[in-house]
Chains A and B, each alone.
Chain A
Amino acid sequence: MNKLTKTVVIVGGGIAGWLTAGRLAAKHKSNTEQGLKVILIESENIPTVGVGEGTWPTMRSTLIALGIRETDFIRECDASFKQGAKFVKWVDGSEDDFYYHPLVLPQGFGQGDLAAHWLSRQGNEGVSSFSNEVCYQEAICENDLAPKTIRTAEYADVANYAYHLDSGKFAKFLQKHCLEKLGITHIVDDVIGVNSADNGDIATVSTEKNGDISGELFIDCTGFSSLLIGKHYQIPFKSCQDTLFIDSALAVQLPHDDAQADITSHTISTGQEAGWIWDIGLQHRRGIGYVYSSKHSTEEQARAVLAEYVGEKFESLTVKKIPVVSGHREKLWQNNCVAIGLSAGFLEPLEASALVQIELSAQMISEQLPQTRDAMNVIGKRFNEIALYRWGKIINFLKLHYILNKRSEPFWVDNRDPETIPQSLQDLMILWKHRSPADCDFTSNNEVFPAASYQYILYGMGFETDYSNTPYVLNDSDFAEEKFAQNKKLINKAVATLPTNRELINKIKEFGFSRI
């Protein structure tokens, strides 16, 4: 029997559940009679993990697809603007050791190899870091400036941006929007059983008070408990802890000293003896956390490292401990069930890959929602291929941040061991010895990080690409001169015209953005 898809059942609230529900309901008109029925079952008794307070620029298109006004989102989710990441002490740990991974591409990217020109000039008088010479965003970040002004339309930008947000508030905000605007059926109940059909599909899930809930597609957003894909289908978990050593996190929330404190416009990620500390500035507080490898540090040592970073207020803060089990399910889609969010997998929060994975999965399922049971096999296979490809690419890119370090602590030394570096990443490193990362290295339609991102990490960390066999790459010096000069001009313009992050947030609260 080739059953038509009429009802999608999402098990689990939280950001993964509500974001997926919202995208499905918005696309498939759940607030109309002919529309898809989307049921979200959420337990009152299970707290959400609230992981991930950094997004990618993709969040802008996600919010647009959900029909959310940017002003409402920023006002209600304690959100601020994020323009990339600053990596401090990731190379040698010295005081002036930092580099940027901004969100704006290098000038003239794809037209010429500006990286080669920068490499040939680095060390010359007046030539600064790679990210600062090829991109104007580092200067914006260093000055705590916003990526736009109050005159810029909602979701439009002067410099590319993402968000920092309060994940607890964001989950509630999404829930409210979904229930008020998008026509989602909300069941607050505990799922106590999963019931199979003859073909192995999930026929229904049993709830404590609302009986059996049936549907054609079941989405597992149950977080770490992985109720459907893990417990029910027993899909094995593929660990990547031999590549990414982080397995523990200690997190605190540090209120700003005063209501008008500057808000940092990027994630600060600072290398420590056995891991790194994230530092994310929101409107009212900073979120700070130490992710570390328990093989390289005791919890006591880790607390001391975090306390040192936070300063004297540390004693008054509640420290939340979160396990980091790096890896993902071997399959994300099985029969008529797909996992999104922590039930699918988890990685250390480096490069904010958690929320973007949820967005990409929710987008794909809403755009390619299988209309029949036959189609589900086709889409399921495709989903697994794409999702696993992305997991692999993200793991590679995160590992790249670790392999070029020159620090002496065991955590950092162990990270350089070739045994811990995936072969596919080692292959790319062979190519990049003699040319810079380019689009030809990333040819799938499902890439997550562009070649530019790899350039920012490599050349930020002091990697040398050797052009001695291809010196003619530097022939187009007019192109390079023009682009470097253009970048300087853009820096001056941005610094002269952009408001601070705090000033813009204040104006958004008072006036809001226009749609146009």
Chain B
Amino acid sequence: MAQLVAIDNKNHLNLKVDVSKAELHGASLHLVPAVVSEFANMAVQYPLVLTKHEETGQLVCAAMLGFEAGENLFWQGEQWQGLYLPLQIRRQPFFVGNADKERDYVICIDSDSPTISQNVGQPIFTENGEETEYFQQAKSCLAQLLQGELENKQLLELLEQMDLLQVMKMEITFSNKQSTTLNGLYTVDEEKLAALSSEQMTILHKAGFLPAIYALIISLGQMHHLIDLKNKMLGC
């Protein structure tokens, strides 16, 4: 669990972030949350799937990086091998704190993050206590995630309302003859999408979700890429 601490320019004046280590946060993730605005970037490399949040049961969008918990096939040689680094990784070590609704959001930092130290990397405050350009960029990354969560929610609500989701059933046999069954994953039902009335299609179009929906569908082709990575890792 991340240890979140609210950032201020008194306690964190000299704090530095080693950006190159942010990727470490994704080293053992097999699913990484994704927001609509990055679907297009993700779809060229990772399968995008829907899954249910462990605690809330709510559907969430995620990019698949491996086939089992702890397995990130894009993490090799202590480095992220993917072309696109998901926002959820890039935002490290910053988080938006549990803001109450009355006040603005609070930016927090994960005090356990391997990226932070007093001497290596980018400072977040100037000597005068003003935010650095780096910190402002990091904040805009968080803003994109917050906005993305809203868009995700709207997209998922529309997909559910229009009954466009289906369970993804997939049994995969790797080159070492081991097989795995993918459970608890969902995706868009192409047939139902094709059968939508023009009124419903217009709703999706006006909401700006058609590219995201097609990205979800097309990205599943990356499953072959993921299997290939796994086979290579198995050395067969």
Write out the residue numbers on chain A whose beta carbons fall within 8 Å of the beta carbon of B56: 150, 507, 510-511
Query: Which residue of A149, A507, A510, A514 is within 8 Å of B59 (Cβ)?
Result: A514
Write out the residue numbers on chain B whose beta carbons fall within 8 Å of the beta carbon of A152: 57
Stretch at the interface among B2-10, B17-25, B163-171, B223-231: B163-171
Write out the residue numbers on chain B whose beta carbons fall within 8 Å of the beta carbon of A513: 57
Which of A151, A152, A511 has its CB near the most chain B CB atoms (within 10 A)? Answer: A151
A476-516 near B? 1/0 per residue, CB < 8 Å: 00000000000000000000000000000001001101111
A150–B163 CA distance with the chains assembled, in angstroms: 19
Please report which residues of chain B, range 27-65, place their CB below 8 angstroms from some CB of chain A when the two chains form the complex. 52-59
B160 within 8 A of A: yes
Known: A514-B59, A516-B186. A151 touches B163 (CB 8 A): no
Query: Which residue of B54, B55, B58, B166 is within 8 Å of A514 (Cβ)?
Result: B58
- Is the Cβ of B167 less than 8 Å from the Cβ of A516? yes
B141-184 near A? 1/0 per residue, CB < 8 Å: 00000000000000000001001011100000000000000001
Write out the residue numbers on chain B whose beta carbons fall within 8 Å of the beta carbon of A150: 52, 55-57
A479–B59 CA distance with the chains assembled, in angstroms: 40
Residue on B nearest A515 in the bound complex, by CB: B160
A152–B58 CA distance with the chains assembled, in angstroms: 10
- Is the Cβ of A151 less than 8 Å from the Cβ of B160? no
A507–B57 CA distance with the chains assembled, in angstroms: 9
Residue on A nearest B167 in the bound complex, by CB: A516
Residue on A nearest B54 in the bound complex, by CB: A151
A507–B52 CA distance with the chains assembled, in angstroms: 14
Known: A151-B184, A516-B166. A511 touches B160 (CB 8 A): no
A513–B53 CA distance with the chains assembled, in angstroms: 12
A5-41 near B? 1/0 per residue, CB < 8 Å: 0000000000000000000000000000000000000
- Is the Cβ of B165 less than 8 Å from the Cβ of A149? no
A514–B58 CA distance with the chains assembled, in angstroms: 7
A139-157 near B? 1/0 per residue, CB < 8 Å: 0000000000111100000
- Is the Cβ of B167 less than 8 Å from the Cβ of A514? no
**Whole-angstrom distance between the Cβ of A71 and the nearest chain B Cβ:** 10
Write out the residue numbers on chain B whose beta carbons fall within 8 Å of the beta carbon of A149: 57
Write out the residue numbers on chain B whose beta carbons fall within 8 Å of the beta carbon of A510: 56
Residue on A nearest B189 in the bound complex, by CB: A516
Write out the residue numbers on chain B whose beta carbons fall within 8 Å of the beta carbon of A507: 55-57
Write out the residue numbers on chain A whose beta carbons fall within 8 Å of the beta carbon of B165: 515-516
A513–B56 CA distance with the chains assembled, in angstroms: 9
**Whole-angstrom distance between the Cβ of B58 and the nearest chain A Cβ:** 5
- Is the Cβ of A516 less than 8 Å from the Cβ of B160? yes
Which of B52, B54, B163 has its CB near the most chain A CB atoms (within 10 A)? Answer: B52
A274–B56 CA distance with the chains assembled, in angstroms: 46
Residue on B nearest A510 in the bound complex, by CB: B56
Write out the residue numbers on chain A whose beta carbons fall within 8 Å of the beta carbon of B167: 516
A514–B59 CA distance with the chains assembled, in angstroms: 7
**Whole-angstrom distance between the Cβ of B116 and the nearest chain A Cβ:** 33
- Is the Cβ of B166 less than 8 Å from the Cβ of A511? no
A516–B167 CA distance with the chains assembled, in angstroms: 7
Which of A152, A514, A516 has its CB near the most chain B CB atoms (within 10 A)? Answer: A516
Residue on A nearest B58 in the bound complex, by CB: A511
**Whole-angstrom distance between the Cβ of A508 and the nearest chain B Cβ:** 9
**Whole-angstrom distance between the Cβ of A152 and the nearest chain B Cβ:** 8
A515–B163 CA distance with the chains assembled, in angstroms: 8
**Whole-angstrom distance between the Cβ of B223 and the nearest chain A Cβ:** 20
Please report which residues of chain A, range 417-474, place their CB below 8 angstroms from some CB of chain B when the two chains form the complex. none
Which of B57, B166, B186 has its CB near the most chain A CB atoms (within 10 A)? Answer: B57
A516–B53 CA distance with the chains assembled, in angstroms: 13
A515–B161 CA distance with the chains assembled, in angstroms: 8
Query: Which residue of B57, B163, B184, B186 is within 8 Å of A511 (Cβ)?
Result: B57
Write out the residue numbers on chain B whose beta carbons fall within 8 Å of the beta carbon of A511: 56-58
A194–B9 CA distance with the chains assembled, in angstroms: 83
Which of A152, A507, A514 has its CB near the most chain B CB atoms (within 10 A)? Answer: A514
A507–B58 CA distance with the chains assembled, in angstroms: 10
A510–B54 CA distance with the chains assembled, in angstroms: 14
**Whole-angstrom distance between the Cβ of A312 and the nearest chain B Cβ:** 38
A146-171 near B? 1/0 per residue, CB < 8 Å: 00011110000000000000000000
Residue on B nearest A504 in the bound complex, by CB: B57
A515–B59 CA distance with the chains assembled, in angstroms: 10
**Whole-angstrom distance between the Cβ of A432 and the nearest chain B Cβ:** 41
A514–B161 CA distance with the chains assembled, in angstroms: 10
Residue on B nearest A511 in the bound complex, by CB: B56
Write out the residue numbers on chain A whose beta carbons fall within 8 Å of the beta carbon of B53: 151
A511–B157 CA distance with the chains assembled, in angstroms: 13
A511–B163 CA distance with the chains assembled, in angstroms: 19
A515–B160 CA distance with the chains assembled, in angstroms: 7
Residue on A nearest B161 in the bound complex, by CB: A515
- Is the Cβ of B57 less than 8 Å from the Cβ of A514? yes
**Whole-angstrom distance between the Cβ of B159 and the nearest chain A Cβ:** 9
- Is the Cβ of A514 less than 8 Å from the Cβ of B52? yes
A96-135 near B? 1/0 per residue, CB < 8 Å: 0000000000000000000000000000000000000000
Write out the residue numbers on chain A whose beta carbons fall within 8 Å of the beta carbon of B58: 511, 514
A515–B57 CA distance with the chains assembled, in angstroms: 11
Write out the residue numbers on chain B whose beta carbons fall within 8 Å of the beta carbon of A151: 52-54, 57, 184
A516–B165 CA distance with the chains assembled, in angstroms: 7
A168–B55 CA distance with the chains assembled, in angstroms: 32
A296–B178 CA distance with the chains assembled, in angstroms: 68
Which of B56, B160, B163, B167 has its CB near the most chain A CB atoms (within 10 A)? Answer: B56
A152–B57 CA distance with the chains assembled, in angstroms: 7
**Whole-angstrom distance between the Cβ of A443 and the nearest chain B Cβ:** 35
**Whole-angstrom distance between the Cβ of B96 and the nearest chain A Cβ:** 20
**Whole-angstrom distance between the Cβ of A339 and the nearest chain B Cβ:** 37
Question: Can you report 9 residue pairs joining A to B where beta carbons are below 8 Å apart?
Answer: A151-B52, A151-B53, A151-B57, A152-B57, A507-B57, A511-B56, A514-B52, A514-B59, A516-B167
Q: Interface of A with B (CB < 8 Å)?
A: 149-152, 507, 510-511, 513-516
Chain A to chain B: the 5 pairs with minimum beta-carbon distance, closest first: A150-B57, A151-B52, A151-B57, A511-B56, A516-B165
Given A507-B57, A516-B160, A516-B167: 10 more A-B contacts, CB < 8 Å = A150-B56, A150-B57, A151-B57, A514-B52, A514-B59, A514-B160, A515-B160, A515-B165, A516-B166, A516-B186
